Amino acid sequence: MGRKVTVATCALNQWALDFEGNLQRILKSIEIAKHKGAKYRLGPELEICGYGCWDHYYESDTLLHSLQVLAALLESPVTQDIICDVGMPVMHRNVRYNCRVIFLNRKILLIRPKMALANEGNYRELRWFTPWSRSRQTEEYFLPRMIQDLTKQETVPFGDAVLSTRDTCIGSEVCEELWTPHSPHVDMGLDGVEIFTNASGSHHVLRKAHARVDLVTMATTKNGGIYLLANQKGCDGDRLYYDGCALIAMNGSIFAQGSQFSLDDVEVLTATLDLEDVRSYRAEISSRNLAASRVSPYPRVKVDFALSSREDLLEPLSEPIEWKYHSPAEEISLGPACWLWDFLRRSQQAGFFLSLSGGVDSAATACLVYSMCHQVCEAVKHGNQEVLADIRSIVHQTSYTPRDPRELCGRLLTTCYMASENSSRGTCDRARELAQQIGSHHIGLSIDPAVKAVMGIFSLVTGRSPAFAVHGGSSRENLALQNVQARVRMVVAYLFAQLSLWSRGAPGGLLVLGSANVDESLLGYLTKYDCSSADINPIGGISKTDLRAFVQLCRERFQLPALQRCEAPAPRQPPPVAPGPLMETVPPFRGTWGPAASCHCCPVPRLWPGQAALLPLSQAGRLSFMVSVCLAAASWKHRPPPSWSPWPMDRCPRPMRRTWG
Q: Confidence band (pLDDT; 50, 70, 90) for 2?
A: low
Beta strands in 420-461 (DSSP E): 441-446
Q: How far is CA 569 from the centre of its chain?
A: 31
Looking at residue 529, its pLDDT comes to 83
Tell me the average pLDDT across 332-338: 96
- Least confident piece of the model among 324-338, 511-525, 583-597: 583-597
* CATH for 508: 3.40.50.620
Looking at residue 595, its pLDDT comes to 52
Looking at residue 604, its pLDDT comes to 37
Instruction: Specify whether 509 is located in the same domain as 379.
Output: yes
- Is residue 114 part of the annotated active site? The answer reads yes
- Is residue 120 part of the annotated active site? The answer reads no
**Domain interval for residue 611:** 594-645
Residue 539 lies in a domain: yes
- Least confident piece of the model among 220-224, 443-447, 504-508, 605-609: 605-609
Q: How far is CA 40 from the centre of its chain?
A: 27
Instruction: Specify whether 285 is located in the same domain as 345.
Output: no
Residue 456 lies in a domain: no
Closest to 277 in 3D by CA, of 255, 256, 294, 303 = 255
Boundary of a domain, candidates 253, 286, 302? 302
Instruction: Specify whether 357 is located in the same domain as 429.
Output: yes
Question: Looking at 66, 200, 357, 515, which residue is catalytic?
Answer: 357
Looking at residue 413, its pLDDT comes to 98
Task: Record the pTM.
Answer: 0.89
Residue 231 lies in a domain: yes
Looking at residue 612, its pLDDT comes to 35
Question: Looking at 39, 114, 233, 544, which residue is catalytic?
Answer: 114
- Least confident piece of the model among 30-39, 106-115, 407-416, 530-539: 530-539
Instruction: Specify whether 10 is located in the same domain as 121.
Output: yes
pLDDT value at 582 more than 70 = no
527 and 486 in contact (C-beta within 8 Å)?
yes
Instruction: Specify whether 289 is located in the same domain as 345.
Output: no
Q: Confidence band (pLDDT; 50, 70, 90) for 569?
A: low
Residue 183 lies in a domain: yes
Spatial distance between the Cα atoms of 303 and 110, rounded to a whole number of angstroms: 10
Instruction: Specify whether 382 is located in the same domain as 275.
Output: no
Looking at residue 410, its pLDDT comes to 98
- Is residue 45 part of the annotated active site? The answer reads yes
Spatial distance between the Cα atoms of 465 and 460, rounded to a whole number of angstroms: 9
pLDDT value at 605 more than 50 = no
Residue 454 lies in a domain: no
Looking at residue 603, its pLDDT comes to 41
pLDDT value at 527 more than 50 = yes
Which range, 554-563, 581-590, 634-643, is most confident? 554-563
Instruction: Specify whether 250 is located in the same domain as 394.
Output: no
Q: At what angle do helices 405-412 and 360-381 cross, to 10 degrees?
A: 120
Residue 465 lies in a domain: no
Question: Looking at 99, 169, 175, 416, which residue is catalytic?
Answer: 175
Instruction: Specify whether 164 is located in the same domain as 51.
Output: yes
pLDDT value at 577 more than 50 = no
Instruction: Specify whether 431 is located in the same domain as 509.
Output: yes
Residue 587 lies in a domain: no
Quote the number of domains for the chain: 3
pLDDT value at 363 more than 60 = yes
Question: Looking at 45, 177, 267, 567, which residue is catalytic?
Answer: 45
| DSSP line for 166-189 | SS-EEEEEEGGGGTSSS-HHHHHH
Instruction: Specify whether 94 is located in the same domain as 231.
Output: yes
Average pLDDT, the chain: 89
Q: How confident is the model over 610-657, as pLDDT tens digits?
A: 333 344 445 667 777 777 778 777 776 555 544 443 333 333 333 333
Instruction: Specify whether 402 is located in the same domain as 283.
Output: no
Looking at residue 642, its pLDDT comes to 46
* CATH for 80: 3.60.110.10
Spatial distance between the Cα atoms of 610 and 631, rounded to a whole number of angstroms: 10
- Least confident piece of the model among 72-81, 243-252, 471-480: 471-480
Instruction: Specify whether 193 is located in the same domain as 108.
Output: yes
Q: Confidence band (pLDDT; 50, 70, 90) for 575?
A: low
Q: How far is CA 204 from the centre of its chain?
A: 3
Looking at residue 566, its pLDDT comes to 84
- Is residue 175 part of the annotated active site? The answer reads yes
Residue 482 lies in a domain: no
Tell me the average pLDDT across 489-499: 96
Q: How confident is the model over 630-639, as pLDDT tens digits?
A: 877 777 655 5
